[in-house]
Amino acid sequence: MTRKQLPKYVYEDRGYVRFIRRARGQSVMMKEEPGTPEFYEHYNRLLKGRGPVSSKRNFEALILSYYESDAYKKLKPRTRADYRKYIEHIRTIWGKKDPAKVEAHHVYELHRANADRWRQANYLVQVLVVLMNHARLTGFLKKEHGNPAKGIPLFKQQSEGWEPWPDDVRAEFERIATPRARLVYELCIGTGQRIGDVLKIRWGHLKDGAYDFTQGKTDKELWIPLTERLKAYLATVDKKGLTVVTDAAGRPVRYRTVADEMRKVKANMQHPDAAKYVTHGLRKNATIELYHAGCSDEMVKAVTGHSSVEMLRRYGGKVRQRELASRAQEARNRMEQNKPGT
């Protein structure tokens, strides 16, 4: 490893490496090969102020190694938090288990055991793929053994994803929503973005009637003209702080705060199914509106920032098919009308 690749507090020293943490008075020679399971087991114990212990090839050591890897550290904060939730579940059930002894049927059984929560079960397998790939890179698994989590058949999505809000739900929400909840609603509908990106919108991002920003989840740079409806609504909003959505003091607000506020508004609605429509569903509303307007897949992606047509199909669903079919049949009708003798 080069110095840049060595973890914090570790330095080269006479053919080995040394863990030096002056604030704690620690200076320990590490004779394990950097990057190996034994090295990370020793390293993580030194971080905790403990001396070296016998190294074991288990998920506990593998997970600690992965947490120190560049791959994990480069993840977006939200993704890192999601990964950690599932990794800690794996740590609880398989912490003492040797990764080399995990076979595909073990992962399959774990996946099936969580069938009642299909989305979480699929994500658990996807995180295991990442973790076991790290195991191969760091020597916990031999490369020729392959990744036992790859190829596990995932549960099929049981619906077309988040439900778009019906017109009657939208109308009642618009009528009773708090000012901040209504603002978030209008931004989600108008921009077609995730609520996390909506909460980060600054007034400075809105220039010449457009929204210029980088998506938090994808790092994709987007420039999106605002709809006339959104421009008109924003004209009524007081600029209290740097961000468009703020607290009473003009400070940015956390996702959890806004999510709770949106839920409270829906809890006060008369519509019997209001609670089942989540804020992310508004992104689907925006996608559907674009298809209804006759936009192509590429045009929709340019607004929503979806990375693939496959993902768009989850959002556009039957609407996309119907719009394309209508346009195709209209083209046939025009062709028939233009034939000689008709």
The pLDDT tens digits of the residues spanning 277-328 come to 999 999 999 999 998 888 888 898 899 988 777 666 666 667 777 877 887 8
178 and 320 in a single domain? The answer is yes
Q: Are 319 and 295 in contact (CB under 8 A)?
A: no
49 and 120 in a single domain? The answer is no
Give one DSSP letter per residue of 31-57, joined into a string. Answer: -SPTTSHHHHHHHHHHHTT--------
Over the chain, what is the mean pLDDT? 87
* Per-residue model confidence (pLDDT) at position 53: 41
85 and 129 in a single domain? The answer is yes
135 and 268 in a single domain? The answer is no
Residue 177 lies in a domain: yes
Helix extents (H) in the chain: 37-47, 59-67, 70-73, 77-94, 104-113, 118-138, 167-176, 179-191, 195-198, 228-234, 255-267, 281-292, 297-304, 309-337
Number of domains observed in the structure of the chain: 3
125 and 254 in a single domain? The answer is no
Give the global pTM: 0.63
Dihedral sign computed on CA atoms, order 137, 141, 144, 146:
negative
Residue 336 lies in a domain: no
Residue 126 lies in a domain: yes
Low-confidence residues of the chain: pLDDT under 50: 51-55
Whose CA is closest to 320, among 310, 331, 330? 310
Residue 60 lies in a domain: no
For 94, 198, 223, 242, 254, the CA distances from 206, given in Å and listed in that order, are 49, 12, 10, 11, 21
Residue 262 lies in a domain: yes
Q: Are 67 and 50 in contact (CB under 8 A)?
A: no
94 and 201 in a single domain? The answer is no
131 and 243 in a single domain? The answer is no
226 and 191 in a single domain? The answer is yes
* Per-residue model confidence (pLDDT) at position 37: 79
116 and 257 in a single domain? The answer is no
User: Terminal CA-to-CA distance of the chain, rounded, Å?
Assistant: 78
* Cα–Cα distance, 174 to 167 (Å, whole number): 11
What is the DSSP code (8-state) at residue 324?
H
297 and 171 in a single domain? The answer is yes
Angle between helices 77-94 and 59-67 (to 10 degrees): 170
* Per-residue model confidence (pLDDT) at position 338: 85
280 and 243 in a single domain? The answer is yes
Whose CA is closest to 294, among 257, 331, 246? 331
Residue 191 lies in a domain: yes
* Per-residue model confidence (pLDDT) at position 12: 85
* Cα–Cα distance, 94 to 132 (Å, whole number): 13
The pLDDT tens digits of the residues spanning 62-75 come to 998 899 889 998 88
Domain extent for 117: 66-145
Residue 3 lies in a domain: no
**Paired strand residues for 223:** 212
308 and 190 in a single domain? The answer is yes
Residue 341 lies in a domain: no
Q: Are 114 and 120 in contact (CB under 8 A)?
A: yes
